[in-house]
Amino acid sequence: MFATRLARIPRFIRCFATEASTIISSPGTLHLKTGQSFYGRSFGAPRSIFGETVFSTSITSYTESMTDPSYRGQILVFTTPLIGNYGVPSNKAPIDSQDVGVVLESDRIQCSAIVVADVAERYSHYKAVESLASWCKRNDVPAITGVDTRAITRLLRDQGTTLGRIAIGDDAGLPPPASHEYWDPTADNLVAEASTQVPYVLNPTGDVKIAVLDFGAKANILRSLVRRGASVTVLPWNFNFNKVRDQFDGLFLSNGPGDPAHCMEAALHLRQTMKEWDRPVFGICMGHQVIGMAAGLEAYRMTFGNRGHNQPVLALASSGSITAGRVYVTSQNHQYALKLQDPFPAGWEPFFINCNDSSVEGIKSTAESGKKIWGVQFHPESAGGPLDTIEMFTDFLTECRGHKIKARLESSELLGARESPLGMATVDAPRPVSVAA
Ligand SMILES: NC(=O)CC[C@H](N)C(=O)O
């Protein structure tokens, strides 16, 4: 009876029950280097891989997390049991001046594999164009379901992030690999893979020129700058910014995958920039770690890192939209952090601290240093997650604009003329008198 009625409803309205049920038949196993194995079923690409097994406590935004380049090399375990229920949207951005080319966080799935307790075989969302299973298959990314992700999370939480293997199909029944066979992705320079190879410009007509050092930038970082009117020049991660710095009003350092130790070259370039250049610098996650290393702080590997969209951080200093003493809820995805050392290097102070584990969540240049440099371990751009700290992008661009106006005024004063912030040149004296006709 119900089936007959359903058949009468036009197909495009029946979006609640899209796509025929995915056939999950072949076995899929997660082996951990520490000796535990979890047997489930495969719903992604029929291929076995190695990776670093991490867990995320995010409840939504699996599409954003999976396309975040910082997850490269990682087997991502979702602690939320039901994943895939709103499907996957088209990743093609509409063409407009704020276009960064994609809707999600990059143009492909970046993590090596995903592990979920219960994949949704049917999805429902007005923007969805395919299921999580078909997206994984199309991107050649293995995925397993039907395993106890709570047990996996408890293990990872106790023993820390652990190397793993996803074995699919015939491989799933094979004994676990020998310990020396596990591949450690952090031994490779994943930033060099994730970064753009050639510079490119977004929103070239923007009023303030920002250079972005791309360690594997999330698209929402670029969007957050472009939507606030900036012209954004994206540079490869190891580009020596000092060669072109006079063309820019500010420097931004992006997030990125893997061990920050691989970015020492960028930190050394940045050390020179921070010494000789007085314009604003802002870094997020990997970018924050690179700023810290350039400032003389040490980056270390945490036991299990922080991955999720509800990490509370306490502001220790006020700056722009941030008020000292307030707690902000943030989106995070990191394995490394800067060491809290006492005293901090001269000219620097801690900016935020994590309320759960007391790790350093941000650093800033001191007021006395005369510099405007900030780094935050969390993701103000969210995608997904809360927008508590999104105005840090506005703060950064306000400083860049202020600096630009000040520099213009100073240079025009040297020439005996003054240029107004609106860009209309005025001459101090004598003023030309216009005579009405
Ligand atoms: N999201 C990021 O930029 C992560 C930075 C670094 N790869 C870490 O895991 O700590």
Structure tokens, 139: 């991107």
| Measured torsion, CA atoms of residues 409, 412, 416, 419, in degrees rounded to the nearest 10 | -60
What residue type is 132 in one-letter code? L
Domain boundaries, the chain: 12-187, 191-400
- Is 218 close to ligand 1, i.e. is its CB under 6 Å away? no
What residue type is 176 in one-letter code? P
Which one, of 267, 207, 282, 203, lies nearest residue 237 by Cα? 267
CATH 3.50.30.20 fits 12-187, yes or no: yes
| Measured torsion, CA atoms of residues 137, 120, 382, 204, in degrees rounded to the nearest 10 | 40
Give, in order, the Cα–Cα distances in Å from 67 to each of 108, 407, 434.
6, 39, 60
Identify the sign of the CA torsion 204, 206, 208, 212: negative
- Is 70 close to ligand 1, i.e. is its CB under 6 Å away? yes
Contacts of 141 (CB under 8 A, 6+ apart): 44, 45, 66, 109, 111, 112, 113, 114
The single residue of 111, 136, 263, 285 carrying the catalytic annotation is 285
pLDDT digits (tens, 9 = 90+) for 164-195: 999 999 999 999 999 999 999 999 999 999 99
**Residue at token pair 């935004």:** 61
- Is 334 close to ligand 1, i.e. is its CB under 6 Å away? yes
Q: How far is the CA of 246 from the centre of ligand 1 (A)?
A: 29
What pLDDT shows up at residue 95? Answer: 78
Determine whether 193 is an active site residue: no
What pLDDT shows up at residue 412? Answer: 82
Instruction: Using DSSP, state whether 320 is helix, strand or coil.
Output: coil
What pLDDT shows up at residue 115? Answer: 98
Write the ipTM: 0.98
What residue type is 3 in one-letter code? A
Nearest CA to ligand 1 atom 8: 334
Q: How far is the CA of 49 from the centre of ligand 1 (A)?
A: 21
- Is 185 close to ligand 1, i.e. is its CB under 6 Å away? no
> 355-370: buried (b, 16+ CB within 10 Å) or exposed (e) per residue?
eeeebbbbbbbeeeee
Query: What is the DSSP track for 212-266?
Result: EEESS--HHHHHHHHTTTEEEEEEETT--GGGTGGG-SEEEE---SS-GGGGHHH
- In what helix (H) or strand (E) does residue 425 lie, and over which residues does it extend? strand 425-427
Determine the topology of domain 191-400 in CATH: Rossmann fold (3.40.50)
What pLDDT shows up at residue 69? Answer: 98
**Residue at token pair 């409840």:** 59
CB distance 252 to 230 below 8 Å: no
What pLDDT shows up at residue 435? Answer: 31
Q: How far is the CA of 217 from the centre of ligand 1 (A)?
A: 11
Distance CA 55, CA 308 (A): 8
Which one, of 54, 152, 150, 162, lies nearest residue 111 by Cα? 54
CB distance 90 to 129 below 8 Å: yes
Determine whether 379 is an active site residue: yes
Distance CA 238, CA 11 (A): 51
Grouped pLDDT means (10 residues each) for the chain, 437 residues: 45 44 78 98 98 97 98 98 98 81 96 98 96 98 98 97 98 98 97 98 96 98 97 98 98 98 98 98 99 98 96 98 98 98 97 98 97 98 97 98 93 64 35 31
What pLDDT shows up at residue 74? Answer: 98
Determine whether 361 is an active site residue: no
Instruction: Using DSSP, state whether 326 is helix, strand or coil.
Output: coil
- Is 286 close to ligand 1, i.e. is its CB under 6 Å away? yes
